[in-house]
Amino acid sequence: MTRTGNTGKVVTNVFGAFHNNFFKISYETSKTDRLFLYYLLNTQYVQKEIMIGAGASTIPDLKHPNFYRIKVNIPAIEEQWRVGTFFKQLDNTIALHQRKLDAMNQMKNGFLQQLFPENGEKFPRVRFADFKDEWEQRKLGEVVKKVTRKNKELESRLPLTISAQNGLIDQNKFFNKNVASRDLSGYYLIKNGEFAYNKSYSNGYPWGAVKRLDNYKIGVLSTLYIIFKPIDIDSTFLTKYYDTTYWYKEVSKYAAEGARNHGLLNIASTDFFKTEIMIPKKYEEQEKIGLFFKQLDDTIKLHQNKLDRLKKLKKKYLQNMFI
């Protein structure tokens, strides 16, 4: 048992030394099922009691007597075995779907590397049939148009932010609070299908992130974002291009790593639109690449939704099957 109250696996027949931050829990196998005990210790009730016993100091410290004073209700050994086995099977199912989801994401990353040319190349390593032309290099400003409309008439009161998994998303959902200013009239008004470049860097986004607004009809963004819409490029192809890392090199030409300030990349919109992008000459090839990744993303989303439902189901059973 760690001081933070997280419960590890309950194991048997293990010999060795334990750090004093851990509890060694002994039990009679004739009265207590190992798996049942593990899931019991992970219920909200027990975790809450553990935190109460650990105290409210900066570094919670759960003493052995406080832990052993926690009162729990347990059924007969046969029912314990059934409950433990049920949750173990549920965990196995969750792990299986997690592996499938990880494999799908790895496959997508592989295709993102193969269906787009590497920097300095004019041909991707993998192509759809009937397309043989070399790709062409264009300035971003030639294929998209900058959007600078303001939310003067308060058409939208939905402040957005960028999420790794969900793209442009409601701030309230992402942060569980609204971090935008009360007056939204000075914010940019972005419409469905338009793109936003967030110049803030974070883990997984060393040069910021570019996402398309897909989940809402309209929303508002801070003027620190760069907003644009496609005019001479397939929109879905462009979303997938910004899922790659190939655009990092272009942005880095204008926003050197040393020119960062409080997590914000120092790049002007005029320079951002000077960045160059490799695109297929034939619009049909752009569409095929975009459609391929859309179908792949839809499949990944289905796996993610199923995994989320299973995790919620487990949480619900943990609340309802223990008293």
Q: Give the number of other CB atoms < 10 A from CB of residue 3.
A: 14
Q: Report the pLDDT value the prediction gives residue 173, as an integer from 0 to 100.
A: 80
In the beta sheet, which residues pair with residue 191? 218
Q: What is the pLDDT of residue 8?
A: 55
How many Cα neighbours within 13 Å face the side chain of 201? 18
Tell me the β-bridge partners of 198.
209
Domain ranges of the chain: 136-279
The helix-helix angle for 44-54 and 34-41 (nearest 10°) equals 60
Alpha helices in the chain (DSSP H): 34-41, 44-54, 64-68, 77-114, 140-143, 171-175, 235-241, 248-254, 269-272, 283-320
Identify the burial level of 18 via C-beta atoms within 10 angstroms of its C-beta, where 0-12 means exposed, 13-18 middle and 19 or more buried.
Answer: exposed
- Spatial strand order of the sheet with 195-198 comes to 144-147, 226-230, 195-198, 209-212
Under CATH, which architecture does the 136-279 domain have? Answer: Alpha-Beta Complex (3.90)
Per-residue pLDDT of the chain (323 residues; tens, 9 = 90+): 333 445 555 554 544 445 556 667 777 778 889 999 889 888 888 888 878 777 766 666 777 777 778 888 889 999 999 999 999 999 999 999 999 999 999 999 999 999 999 988 999 999 999 899 999 999 999 999 999 999 999 999 999 988 767 789 998 887 776 666 778 999 999 999 999 999 888 777 889 899 999 999 999 999 999 999 999 999 999 999 999 999 999 999 988 654 555 567 888 999 999 999 999 999 999 999 999 999 999 999 999 999 999 999 999 999 888 87
Asked if 169 and 163 count as a contact pair (C-beta separation under 8 A), the reply is yes
